[in-house]
Structure 1
């Protein structure tokens, strides 16, 4: 029997973990009670909160036992897959509540009182607001609440949706709350000092390692390349097609959805097996892209930061920052897609003339200088790829223009601006009577 039994995990769950070739708990898995858990990516945070929840649930498998909130659809689906695998022997029922799927079908699942609900805050808030009492009634007796990628969830962008979700849940003294993150921010730490019910122990923080070690694993090689911004695609293609990298699985991170689509189509035109993951794609295409990449049907995944957190794709060997993120913590999360669970990995950042200050902030955050990547030279790029990549990019942009890529997003933005302007009233100055 594995060491999981020694930390209170039930026998059936220990056997399930053994079947998945997970034999020994990691530090974060040993430390999980009522807590804020901070540990580097790839350290097994899902099992850290899943194992105690499933152990307690198996003692009394009634109603909606646990709710897991997470910032992205892909993370929600991944967590649900792991819960399903762990609880297969106990006929576990799970509902995934995310955007891009049928509200009606999700409402039916919630009404059926699944054992665990894995949700994004926005879609669950929609159900609380619109789907009726029968749909949300089961959430009022939840025993466990988990905030995964808590630093992201506690940012302003999720504030109102989180408040709506919390409004339907049992009070803090009637549920157990667990927060997990690879980045323990000040907002997360501040929760430690919040008042707790008198019958509950004070919330504690468990950070597995120092901040710097959590940020960048020692087995991760970090490089940069200085490149002109107007020919970045040529340098990217040269890296991916270099003999040292041509067989590697790679994730390429960009800052905008439009860039993601241009890069994907350009690389596809150059006969690289590529997929993309960004918010402009329908949910089914997002899911298919992830499945293709995991199955190695696509060797390269072009993604915005929707894919930077938590996704467990074990065989990513190379992460390329095509665009440099404004927030150094986003860099940490991006490169955390490789060098996971003790494996080696490599990251290369394409640094243009406007990115120097961002790179300096990143180096300060990770307490490490990036090394210069010297396997690609300007002469090689000009000689071997500049012309072919330029043609492929023009074809990609012509396709996107013909298909009106991004028009739906632009229409929504124009409508929002129109609504805002119609709600704005100019106050006329009052006429002052002369005496």
Structure 2
């Protein structure tokens, strides 16, 4: 199957070839035809499945088919939950847009940087806006952008946009849009809240689905290493240096831990840096570029980097702290083994987190033997599990604080 056989014009098919896309991925095969027809689409697409190009290509074709002259009015709006994902989606639009006498104008808008350059960028309008909700609302409040001509709305990583912090912002953006439009909702997971949002936004939607992440990326070698919690940093240093790992993403639980672990590694001769949400956008961009260029070998981060970040040649992902959610486990390890490459994921498991790892394995249908590294054999004993003990620890089984706040808000509305 070819991109042209899906209905894309030769110019876009050539752009795909130039970008290294030789054959369509399953999500692209399923999503491109209905999107070209202007239908609403609900897409279940894990990271690394080719999801972004699946909606970018047909939207570009529809834009180019009716490309008016004069002042540019925003006709495609993509909402993304993070700055990094917004920047990545904007880059895909720019890479795949074929050259023309009047190239499409793409504006990427996010917080953490000065708003003034973005306001200047919007002078003369834009054809495509990719934005985080908060910054988009700031620009709407300043009358720097108008959304009354939007023909297609994309909610990318819709499960993340359902987080409590985005709910009010998302609703305000929707009120600024025309009632009649094409709606695209892509989500890596499908909790009940995503179905409720789909029921609210989509009209006679076509549901498309990519295979699961672990099936889509078969070349991830998943390992678990038993180690006492206090020795994780020294074990990480040992693995990086002994294995000659050049690009490593290490996930920890807190922003403080990113700085602490990165500092400890740097003090032991490892080129390491931290990445977290308290950093400015320029700092975040710089450390990611340092990782891509090899100035940094190890990037210690929170789940901020679990989605929307693509680092070519990222060979290893380490779960220094286990993710709270099984879905986050999938997103984390999906940062490696991209574009057909091979990769390795390593999860540190201590006596205190053994039960949590077993729950993750159960949810993902995995059974990973606990390995040991010579010189780092654990001495702590795994506590016995009571038959009456609650499951705990996994999102979706025990309500989090955000879950309780959402439930209280729904009760107050009478839902």
- TM-score higher than 0.5 here? yes
> How far does the alpha carbon of each residue in 1:222-275 deviate from its partner, in whole angstroms, 9 at most, with x for none?
222222222321111112122xx2134211011111110111122222222223
User: Could you list the per-position Cα deviations for residues 262-303 of structure 1 after superposition, in whole angstroms to 9, with x for gaps in the alignment?
Assistant: 111222222222232211212111001111212222222111
Q: For structure 1, list consecutive stretches of 5 or more residues without a partner in the other structure.
A: 382-435
Output the CA distance in 1 between the equivalents of 2:208 and 2:244: 40
2:283 maps to what in 1? 285
Structure 1 position 69 matched with structure 2 position 79: yes
Q: Given that residues 61 and 115 in structure 1 are in contact (C-alpha distance below 8 angstroms), is that contact kept between their aligned partners in structure 2?
A: no
From the superposition, tell whether residues 312 and 376 of structure 1 become closer, same or farther in structure 2 (CA, over 3 Å): farther
Q: How many residues align?
A: 366
Q: TM-score, normalised by structure 1?
A: 0.79
SS in structure 2 opposite 1:262? Answer: helix
* Counterpart pick for 2:115 among 90, 93, 103: 103
Quote the offset at 1:345 in angstroms. Answer: 1.5
Instruction: Tell me the distance in 2 between the aligned counterparts of 1:212 and 1:18.
Output: 26
Report the CA distance between 1:24 and its aligned residue.
Answer: 1.2
User: Which shows bigger deviation, 22-31 or 369-378?
Assistant: 369-378
In 2: Cα distance, 1:209 partner to 1:361 partner:
22
Deviates more, 1:296-305 or 1:329-338: 296-305
Query: What's the counterpart of residue 323 of structure 1?
Result: 321
- Which of residues 358, 361, 364 is equivalent to 1:360? 358
8 Å CA contact retained: 1:267, 1:274: yes
1:3–1:25 Cα contact (<8 Å) kept: yes
Q: Judging by fraction of residues, say which structure has more helix.
A: 1
Q: Residues 193, 77 of structure 1: CA spacing in aligned structure 2 closer, same or farther, 3 A cutoff?
A: closer
1:189 to 191, 195, 220: 195
1:50 aligns with 2:56: yes
In the other structure, the counterpart of 1:208 is: 210
Cα displacement string for residues 87-131 of structure 1 (whole angstroms, at most 9, x for unaligned residues): 251323111110112223222323421111111112112223x31
Using the size of structure 2 for normalisation, the TM-score is: 0.82
Is the contact between residue 36 and residue 204 of structure 1 (CA under 8 Å) also seen in structure 2?
A: yes
The offset of 1:376, in angstroms, is: 4.4
Distance 2:165 2:173 in 1: 14
CA contact (8 A) 1:318 1:346 kept: yes
Say what the alpha-carbon RMSD is for the aligned residues.
Answer: 2.2
Equivalent residue, structure 2, for 1:13 = 12
CA contact 1:4–1:14 (8 Å) conserved in 2 = yes
- SS at the partner of 1:136? coil
Q: Does 1:272 align with 2:273?
A: no
Superposed, 1:10-409 pairs within 5 Å as: 10-32=9-31, 33=35, 34-62=40-68, 63-87=73-97, 89-90=99-100, 91-128=103-140, 130-132=141-143, 135-137=144-146, 139-171=147-179, 174-194=180-200, 202-209=204-211, 213=215, 217-242=217-242, 245-378=243-376
Conservation of the 8 A alpha-carbon contact between 2:245 and 2:315: no
Following TM superposition, by how much is the alpha carbon of 1:211 offset from its aligned partner in structure 2, in angstroms? 7.8
Any idea what the Cα deviations from partners look like across 1:47-104, whole Å, max 9, x if unmatched? 1010001001111234212111111111111111121111251323111110112223
Query: Helix, strand or coil for the counterpart of 2:338?
Result: coil
Q: Pick the structure with greater CA Rg.
A: 1
SS in 1 for 2:185: strand
Separation of aligned partners in 2, 1:247 and 1:194: 46
Following TM superposition, by how much is the alpha carbon of 1:327 offset from its aligned partner in structure 2, in angstroms? Answer: 1.4
- List gaps (5 residues or longer) in structure 2: 380-415
Which string of whole-angstrom CA distances, capped at 9 and with x for unpartnered residues, describes residues 19-64 of structure 1? 1121211111122122111123211111101000100111123421
Question: Is the contact made by 1:249 and 1:299 (CA closer than 8 Å) also made in structure 2?
Answer: yes
Moved more, 103-112 or 31-40: 103-112
| 8 Å contact from structure 1 (residues 189, 205) kept in 2 | no
Q: Which moved more, 1:296-305 or 1:46-55?
A: 296-305
Q: Deviations over 1:158-195 (max 9, x none)?
A: 10111111111111xx2111122222333223445448
Q: How far apart are 1:313 and its partner, in Å?
A: 1.8
Tell me which moved more, 281-290 or 28-37.
28-37
1:378 alignment partner, SS class: coil
Partners in 2 of 1:326 and 1:380 — Cα distance? 23
> Comparing 229-238 with 113-122, which one deviates more in the overlay?
229-238
* Pairing of 1:401-420 with structure 2 (within 5 A): none
For the residue of structure 2 that corresponds to 1:223, the secondary structure is: strand
DSSP 3-state at the match of 1:276:
strand
Q: Provide the C-alpha distance between the structure 1 equivalents of 2:368 and 2:65, rounded to a whole number of angstroms.
A: 50
Q: Contact 2:47–2:213 at 8 Å: present in 1 too? A: no
